[in-house]
A = this chain, B = another copy of it.
Amino acid sequence: MAAKTKQHLKTHFELTREYLDELIENIEADKEVEVFNMIKDLHAADIAEIYDELNIDQARFIYLMLDNEKAADVVIELEEDDRRRFLDAIPVDKIARQFIDNMDSDDAADILGELSNEKVEEIISHIGNVEQASAILDLLKYDEDTAGGLMGTELVSVNENWSLVTCIKEIRKQAVNIDEIYYVYVTDNDNILRGTLSLKRLLLANSAAKVKNISNSDVISVKTDTPSEEVANVMNKYDLVTLPVVDPIGRLKGRITIDDVVDVIREEAEKDYQLVSGITADHEPFDNVWRVTRARLPWLFIGLVGGVLGASVIGNYEDQLRLHPEMAFFIPLIAAMAGNVGVQSSSIIVQGLANNSIGLDSSGRKLLNELGVALINGLILSGAIFIYNYFIRDSFALTITVSVSLLSVVLFASMFGTFIPLALNRFQVDPAVATGPFITTLNDIMGLFVYLMIGRLMYGVF
């Protein structure tokens, strides 16, 4: 562990075209020393980023140069697709001994969770360390979207009845197998979680102290079946770096670290973002064509069906349109505004529900608030279009129709957008499905209906 002084100002690595071209050139020319020098100081996450850009033979060239621990870290950092491709090219006993044996139990369980059952059994039968194998099997039982699915079993725990001297001896013993320790957990004789011992307190404590007396009993924990979204909210709310996980009677089963939860937060945010954009299933920017198609087509079909319904609505007013074809001019404007307003209202509610910022008082007063916003926006917008049409268009009936229906449509769309996600949430349906194409389509049809009906009325009057 001698200090490598020339690295003292190391910042993070950024993958460039030039670097990659040089690397590939060296790999193709079989220049092992050059390749090794290019990658030897890189973090596993950087090597994973490079793997993404290489073909399987080039990736294997690099993989053969890595020690087992680094190779395992790289596998953890790969994108799911790349990992599957990569692991398919490697014999199961190597996967077990080189990768799984060198991973934290939670990472190992995550990766095995992506593979077929037979392959998992085969791999586990090849794991050298029995303790690791049984920890992984335990973890695989939990739903991946719960605290049990997120947690790892690598932790340091001490008995509350120990003396500080025994405690430190024990910590040293347990710590050898663990990457990093931030907290030491304190349990009683039945392995029930009783508190935490921060390393700071351990350093500052008088060596005559007992564990019980220097531990902090104010420990927040979650159960193995706590949903991961709730885990993320708890860790975020209380600014926690690790969170202990207990079983129904309070026995310590594992710990969740913040880096896993950051991934949950990112994934949740991405899921909501994709839903509002009309994309289901988690898909990366350039997944394969079929996967992308599958993620998008259902939403486009909702739009198509909405369009067909819209066509029937307009169809009922065919004679009206034959007489006043100028009414068709503003169909896109009304539909677009209905869609935009609906998405604005629904997405802010969905976001508020997702990050728990709506608070207790989610009904009456707040719907009124939203209605107030819609009224102001609606009045401004319909005023603007009134002035424009008044000077540009010949038909006063059209001018009145567009303004009155725009105001009505903004009010309706905002009510639908607010109410529908709140209602879905009350009935335990993920409110995020009500954003994007769904709310847009619904509001489009509503908008057309309102516009054409008001048009018929107004052309009768003016």
Return chain B residues, CB-CB under 8 Å to A203.
Answer: 168, 171-172, 175, 199, 202
Return chain B residues, CB-CB under 8 Å to A369.
Answer: 286, 289, 292
Nearest-CB residue, chain B, relative to A279: B344
Return chain B residues, CB-CB under 8 Å to A286.
Answer: 352, 358-359, 366, 369-370
The reply to whether the CB of A61 lies closer than 8 angstroms to some CB of chain B is: no
CA distance A171 to B448 in the complex (A): 70
A200 and B180 contact, Cβ closer than 8 Å, known pairs A285-B348, A293-B376, A385-B308: yes
Say yes or no: A307 contacts B322, CB within 8 Å.
Answer: no
Return chain B residues, CB-CB under 8 Å to A273.
Answer: 269, 272-273, 276, 347, 351
Which stretch, A29-37, A110-118, A126-134, A235-243, touches the partner chain B?
A235-243
Say yes or no: B221 contacts A10, CB within 8 Å.
Answer: yes
How would residues 359 to 400 of chain A score, 1 for a CB under 8 Å from any chain B CB and 0 otherwise? 111000010011011001100110011001000000000000
CA distance A333 to B339 in the complex (A): 13
The reply to whether the CB of A67 lies closer than 8 angstroms to some CB of chain B is: no
A360 and B53 contact, Cβ closer than 8 Å, known pairs A336-B441, A377-B300: yes
The reply to whether the CB of A89 lies closer than 8 angstroms to some CB of chain B is: no
Q: Which of A318-350 contact B (CB under 8 A)?
A: 318, 321-322, 325-326, 328-337, 339-341, 343-344, 347-349
Which stretch, A95-103, A137-145, A208-216, A423-431, touches the partner chain B?
A208-216
The reply to whether the CB of A189 lies closer than 8 angstroms to some CB of chain B is: no
Say yes or no: B266 contacts A234, CB within 8 Å.
Answer: no
The reply to whether the CB of A278 lies closer than 8 angstroms to some CB of chain B is: yes
Return chain B residues, CB-CB under 8 Å to A283.
Answer: 348
The reply to whether the CB of A163 lies closer than 8 angstroms to some CB of chain B is: no
A239 and B259 contact, Cβ closer than 8 Å, known pairs A335-B335, A347-B273: yes
CA distance A329 to B310 in the complex (A): 7
Query: Which of the residues B240, B266, B388 comes within 8 Å of A355, measured between beta carbons?
Result: B266
Say yes or no: A331 contacts B333, CB within 8 Å.
Answer: no
How would residues 1 to 41 of chain A score, 1 for a CB under 8 Å from any chain B CB and 0 otherwise? 11111011111100111001000000000000000000001
Say yes or no: B45 contacts A218, CB within 8 Å.
Answer: no
Q: Which of A252-272 contact B (CB under 8 A)?
A: 258-259, 261-263, 265-266, 269-270, 272
The reply to whether the CB of A408 lies closer than 8 angstroms to some CB of chain B is: no
Say yes or no: A200 contacts B181, CB within 8 Å.
Answer: yes
Query: How many positions in chain A have a CB within 8 Å of any CB in the partner chain?
Result: 151
Q: Which of A138-154 contact B (CB under 8 A)?
A: none
Most chain B CB within a 10 A radius of its CB, from A10, A203, A332, A360: A332
Return chain B residues, CB-CB under 8 Å to A333.
Answer: 303-304, 306-308, 310-311
The reply to whether the CB of A444 lies closer than 8 angstroms to some CB of chain B is: yes
Return chain B residues, CB-CB under 8 Å to A212.
Answer: 3
Say yes or no: A360 contacts B241, CB within 8 Å.
Answer: no
Query: Which of the residues B15, B352, B360 comes within 8 Å of A285, measured between beta carbons?
Result: B352
Return chain B residues, CB-CB under 8 Å to A325.
Answer: 318, 321-322, 325, 328
The reply to whether the CB of A135 lies closer than 8 angstroms to some CB of chain B is: no
Return chain B residues, CB-CB under 8 Å to A265.
Answer: 262, 265-266, 269
The reply to whether the CB of A122 lies closer than 8 angstroms to some CB of chain B is: no
The reply to whether the CB of A191 lies closer than 8 angstroms to some CB of chain B is: no
Given A236-B263, A293-B373, 20 additional A-B pairs, CB 8 A:
A1-B214, A1-B215, A3-B195, A10-B219, A45-B238, A175-B200, A176-B204, A241-B258, A269-B269, A270-B355, A273-B276, A285-B349, A285-B352, A286-B359, A292-B369, A296-B344, A307-B385, A336-B444, A340-B440, A343-B436
3 residue pairs, one from A and one from B, having the closest CB atoms: A307-B333, A285-B352, A269-B269
